[in-house]
Chain A
Amino acid sequence: MTAPLTRRERMQLDRVTMPERDPGERSASFAEVNLGLTAQAARLEAMRCLECRRPVCIEGCPVGIQIDDFIRHIAAGDIDAAAAVIQEDNLLPAICGRVCPQENQCEGACVLAKKGRPIAIGHLERYVADVARGAGFDRIVTRPHPTGRRIAIIGSGPSGLACAADLAKSGHEVTVFEALHEAGGVLIYGIPEFRLPKEIVAAEIDGLKRLGVGFETNAVVGRTHTLAELRSQFDAVFVGVGAGLPRFLEIAGENLIGVYSANEFLTRVNLMKAYLPDAETPVLDVHGKQVAVFGGGNTAMDGARTARRLGAAGVHVVYRRTEEEMPARREEVRHAREEGIVFDFLAAPTELHGTDGVLTGATLQRMELGEPDDSGRRRPQPIPGATFDLPIDLAIVAIGNGPNPLLLATVPDLERTGRGTIAVDEATGRTSLEGVFAGGDIVTGGATVILAMGAGRRAAASIEDWLRTGVWPLPEPEIEAEPEAAVTR
Chain B
Amino acid sequence: MYRILSSDPVAPDVRRFRIEAPGVARHHRAGQFVIVRVTADGERIPLTVAAAQPDTGTITLFVQGIGRTTRMLNTLEAGDTLADVVGPLGRPSEIRYYGTAVVVGGGVGTAIAYPVAAALAEAGNDVIAIVGGRSAEYVLLEPELAATGAQVIPCTDDGSYGRRGFVTTVLAEILDHSRIDVVFAAGPIPMMAAVAETTRGHAVPTIASLNPIMVDGTGMCGGCRVSVGGETRFACVDGPEFDAHQVDFELLARRNQAYHDFEQARREDFDRNRPRPAGASR
Contact = CB atoms under 8 A, between A and B. Distances in A.
B163 interface: no
B227 A179 contact: no
Given A267-B221, A406-B237, A272 B43 contact: yes
B215 A272 contact: yes
Interface string B213-254: 001101111110101000010100100000000000001001
B43 A226 contact: no
A484 to B, nearest CB: 23
Interface in A278-292: 279-282, 284
Contacts of B263: 282
A219 B216 contact: no
Contact of B220 (A225, A246, A257, A282): A246
Given A264-B221, A357-B254, A255 B43 contact: no
B37 interface: yes
B41 A406 contact: no
Nearest to B266: A280
Contacts of A272: 43-44, 215
Nearest to A246: B222
Given A272-B44, A280-B41, A281-B215, A223 B225 contact: no
Contacts, number: 110
Contact of A404 (B37, B225, B237, B255): B237
Contacts of A282: 259, 262-263
B172 interface: no
A181 interface: yes
Contact of B219 (A226, A250, A406): A406
A263 B221 contact: yes
Interface in A243-291: 244-246, 248, 250, 254-255, 257, 260-261, 263-264, 267-268, 272-273, 279-282, 284
A223 B262 contact: no
B66 interface: no
A248 B222 contact: yes
B215 A268 contact: yes
A246 B215 CA distance: 13
B232 A280 contact: no
Interface in A201-227: 217-220, 223-226
Interface in A331-365: 356-357
A405 interface: yes
Interface string B2-32: 0000000000000000000001100100000
Contacts of A218: 84-86
B69 interface: yes
B237 A255 contact: no
A369 interface: no
Given A224-B23, A267-B215, A254 B44 contact: no
Contacts of B27: 223-226
Contact of A179 (B86, B222, B251, B254): B86
A81 interface: no
B89 interface: yes
Residue of A219, A267, A273 with most chain B CB atoms under a 10 A cut-off: A267
A180 interface: yes
A257 B221 contact: no
B147 interface: no
- Interface of chain B, main secondary structure: mixed
Q: Dominant SS at the A interface?
A: loop
Interface in B37-89: 37, 39, 41-44, 68-69, 83-89
Contacts of B259: 282, 284
B280 interface: no
Contacts of A263: 220-222
Contacts of A268: 215
B216 A281 contact: no
Interface residues of A, number: 38
A244 B215 contact: no
A393 to B, nearest CB: 13
Contacts of B85: 218
Nearest to A185: B220
A261 B221 contact: yes
Given A224-B24, A281-B215, A264 B41 contact: no
B220 A244 contact: yes
Contacts of B89: 220, 223
Contact of A254 (B43, B83, B87, B232): B232
B258 A257 contact: yes
B258 A261 contact: no
Contacts of A180: 86, 216, 218
Contact of A257 (B41, B43, B227, B255): B255
A217 B84 CA distance: 9
A246 B221 CA distance: 7
Interface string A143-155: 0000000000000
Given A181-B86, A223-B89, A405-B237, A244 B219 contact: yes
A46 B184 CA distance: 68
B87 A280 contact: no
Top 10 A-B pairs, shortest CB-CB distance: A264-B221, A224-B23, A218-B86, A282-B262, A357-B254, A261-B222, A280-B43, A282-B259, A281-B43, A181-B84
29 contacts: A179-B218, A181-B44, A181-B83, A181-B86, A217-B84, A219-B86, A220-B86, A220-B218, A223-B87, A223-B89, A224-B27, A225-B27, A244-B219, A245-B220, A245-B222, A246-B222, A248-B225, A257-B254, A261-B223, A267-B216, A272-B44, A280-B41, A280-B69, A281-B43, A284-B258, A357-B251, A405-B237, A406-B218, A406-B237
Given A245-B237, A267-B216, A404-B219, 7 more contacts: A189-B220, A217-B84, A245-B219, A255-B225, A267-B215, A404-B220, A404-B237
Interface of B: 23-24, 27, 37, 39, 41-44, 68-69, 83-89, 215-216, 218-223, 225, 227, 232, 234, 237, 251, 254-255, 257-259, 262-263, 266
